[in-house]
Amino acid sequence: MAELDKDTARLLGQYESAVFKKDVDAFMRLYDPAARVFDAWGVWSYEGAEAWQRAVEGWFTSLGSERVKVSFDDVTVWSANGLSSVSAVVTYAGQSADGQPLRAMQNRLSWVLRTVGHVPRIVHEHTSAPLGFDDQKAILVRDRGL
């Protein structure tokens, strides 16, 4: 993977950190107020940061004492003045309160980022897992050994 530009590297780090700390405020600061999120789970579209925040609060609360270690692979960036896009494979690895690895899951992730006042924020997120042709069930792990 080519070295990432500073803005993208910072954003990925902030996302990883906010999820690990289950810090809703830090997490939501990454999103534009008008963000449209196509999340992998249950809902077709979250329109606006308020709707998305309620889902994120539900996610973090559902974790109880567990934590989620996020990592990004195969990151690709397209950028222009004021708008950029990041795509990646993201791994969500659950840990128990004492740091023991639990289950892990992978998603494809696409972000569209708009830069306002020098800060790129997510205006569009799309996460998903590919579907098995036969059973229409999600294929939730790409990499063996997870």
Q: Provide the edge-to-edge strand list for the sheet that holds 101-116.
A: 46-47, 31-38, 119-128, 101-116, 83-95, 67-80
Q: Which is nearer to a copy of itself, 65 or 81 (CB)?
A: 81
Chain positions contacting a copy of itself, by CB under 8 A:
36, 38-45, 74, 76, 78-85, 87, 89, 108, 110, 112, 114, 123-124, 126, 128-133, 135-140, 142
57 neighbors 65 (Cβ within 8 angstroms):
no
Q: Which is nearer to a copy of itself, 23 or 57 (CB)?
A: 57
Q: Which is nearer to a copy of itself, 23 or 85 (CB)?
A: 85
Q: Which of 142, 141, 138, 144 is CA-nearest to residue 41?
A: 138
- Please, what is the minimum distance in Å from the beta carbon of residue 6 to a copy of itself? 18
For the stretch 6-19, what's the b/e string if a residue is b when 16 or more beta carbons lie within 10 angstroms of its beta carbon?
ebbeebbeebbebb
- Please, what is the minimum distance in Å from the beta carbon of residue 115 to a copy of itself? 9
Q: Which is nearer to a copy of itself, 26 or 48 (CB)?
A: 48
